[in-house]
Amino acid sequence: MSWRTPHSVRRPRVMLGTPHGGLGRTYGARTRAYRDPVTREEVQAHHVRIRGLRPDTDYLYMAVHDGATPEPGTFRTAPRGRRPLTFTSFGDQSTPQVNKPMPTDRITLWTQDNYGSRFAGDTTTAVEPIAPLFHLMNGDLCYAQLSGNPTRVWRDWFINNSRSMRNRPWMPAAGNHENEAGNGPIGYHAFQTYFDVPRNGCDDRVNPYGFCSFDVDPGRRGGRTTMRVTYHAVTGPGGATRPVDTFVLERPRSDDRR
């Protein structure tokens, strides 16, 4: 679980329980911070990792710190084994705030300095009737690096999406528009502060953040299916990468389509 505050706080924590058992457990949060290179504003983000949850179970929680009103939320864990589930996925969302006219041949559209669009609010609204188990956020979250006020854009993005995020995991991937000039050694300091994403098993001690590419050969009937995985470390601002590791997975091809 993760949440942000505009300044440092005391004892950030999460109280966790079930609808029938109440809030029986408390977990202390780890805090990360960064100072935006454009606005010079410091942003705090707090993260709690919780293990030992039961499958296919409803949980409720409250995120809080000393002197604050608790923020409530709920979520449901995934079923055990091979069971059907529903998820949603999109990327390139931006934010619904608009204040900048953009004339066209026929009409004037309204946007903002980060490609803001009122439809960015509609996409979040569309997630809720589906009630997915989780949502995949496929990069280019809010386009903060285009703005003269990146922290405002990140704040607008979280405000827009927290109505869904508080009730199901939103699982983000970093895109090129999360790369902000001067924000950390590789430009991803904001993303790395806001999100506590799991490691992908291809750690590079010097450049621990990066991307994987996949080259899949389905093979011939009766042969083998192979997948070559290459890990690319981000080596500098602008999203420059270099391959640092590769391995091949393979297994006999299955032609049983039942």
pLDDT at 105: 79
| Burial degree of 226 (CB within 10 A; 0-12, 13-18, 19+) | middle
Using the structure block, give the residue that is written with the tokens 């299916």.
225
Relative to beta strand 170-172, strand 134-137 is parallel
pLDDT in tens, 35-53: 999 999 999 999 999 999 9
**Torsions phi, psi for 44 (to 5 deg):** -110, 135
Strand order in the sheet with 30-35: 2-5, 42-47, 30-35
Are the CB atoms for 197 and 48 separated by under 8 Å? no
Structure tokens at 185: 């050694």
Residue 258's pLDDT is: 40
Q: How high is the pLDDT of residue 251?
A: 83
Question: Pairing mode, if any, of strands 42-47 and 58-64?
Answer: unpaired
Domains of the chain: 2-198 (2.60.40.380), 205-258 (2.20.25)
Residues of the chain with pLDDT below 50 are: 257-258
**Residue type, position 102, single letter:** M
